Amino acid sequence: MHIPDGFLDPPVFAAAYALALAFLIPALRGVQRSLGDRQLPLLSVLTAGVFAAQMLNFPILPGISGHLVGGTLIAIFLGPYAAIFSMTIILLIQALLFGDGGLTALGANILNMGIIAAGTYYVYVGLRRIMGSERGAVASVFAVAWLSVFLGALACGLEIGLSSAFQPLGGAAVTVPLMGFWHAFIALGEGLITAAIFTYVSRTRPDMLALAKIGPLGGRPLGEMD
């Protein structure tokens, strides 16, 4: 879902940069305030792991592939601000070193794959209030990971749809449903992988999931498997 250079018009990528910065600045402050000795190693491992996982495209339908985005995974472990911080580092290195995602589109990519995923953390908190069991926790993780990619794809569809490269083809009225349609399938991979990692860690190292979360709502740890 990495938008390359040339897909977005300057007003669109400038607005996306402004919106991304509006979330990135409080996220950096939150990390500065709340990142502790126990969270830093986990955050580093998760961020590097998500980078590696993003190289592993899985086929999802004939002629189409997807890969883990990972924003939801990080948000569930360490909170929404941690997710924005990590995804920004990944996307910046991908754009600068590997040409994966354009530099002009970096703000939009941070928005679609970092900030929206971080926002779905609150859906997860809400779902966990209703479903407290272990099975409920895994179902919530799957649903929220799916949602993060689906919503990110709709945002991406809107951004490209508002830009001139996609205008003669019907603009957002075409790109938003198309992005949503393909990513409804691709996002199943996000749900499966995120739920599998969550299940594995909650059985082997539940303390890793009980660390204080970084983000608004006080960074209160959300007790897992309680």
Partner 1 sequence: MERWTKKTLTAIVLLTALLLPLASAFPDGLEKVAESLGVKQMAPFWNAPLPDYALPLVENPYLSALLAGLTGFVLVLLATWGLGRALRRKKSQTPAG
Q: Which is nearer to partner 1, 28 or 125 (CB)?
A: 28
Instruction: Retrieve residue 175's tokens.
Output: 């790109």
179, HSE (Cβ side, Cα atoms, 13 Å): 24
Separation CA 217–CA 172 (nearest Å): 34
Among 12, 18, 5, 2, smallest CA distance to 163 is for: 12
Classify residue 3 by its DSSP letter. P
Task: Give the footprint of partner 1 on this chain (CB under 8 A).
Answer: 1-7, 28, 31-33, 35, 40-45, 47-49, 51-53, 55-59, 63-67, 85-86, 89-90, 93-100, 102-104, 153, 156-157, 160, 165-166, 169, 174-175, 178-179, 182-183, 186, 205, 208
Q: Which is nearer to partner 1, 18 or 96 (CB)?
A: 96
- Pairing relationship of beta strands 64-66 and 58-61 according to DSSP bridges: antiparallel
Q: Which is nearer to partner 1, 93 or 217 (CB)?
A: 93
Q: Which is nearer to partner 1, 169 or 225 (CB)?
A: 169
**Mind spelling out the 3-state secondary structure of 174-218?**
HHHHHHHHHHHHHHHHHHHHHHHHHHHHHHHCHHHHCCCCCCCCC
Considering the complex, what minimum distance in angstroms separates the CB of residue 129 from partner 1?
30
Considering the complex, what minimum distance in angstroms separates the CB of residue 132 from partner 1?
27
Considering the complex, what minimum distance in angstroms separates the CB of residue 158 from partner 1?
12
158, HSE (Cβ side, Cα atoms, 13 Å): 12
Considering the complex, what minimum distance in angstroms separates the CB of residue 162 from partner 1?
14
Q: Which is nearer to partner 1, 52 or 225 (CB)?
A: 52
Considering the complex, what minimum distance in angstroms separates the CB of residue 120 from partner 1?
18
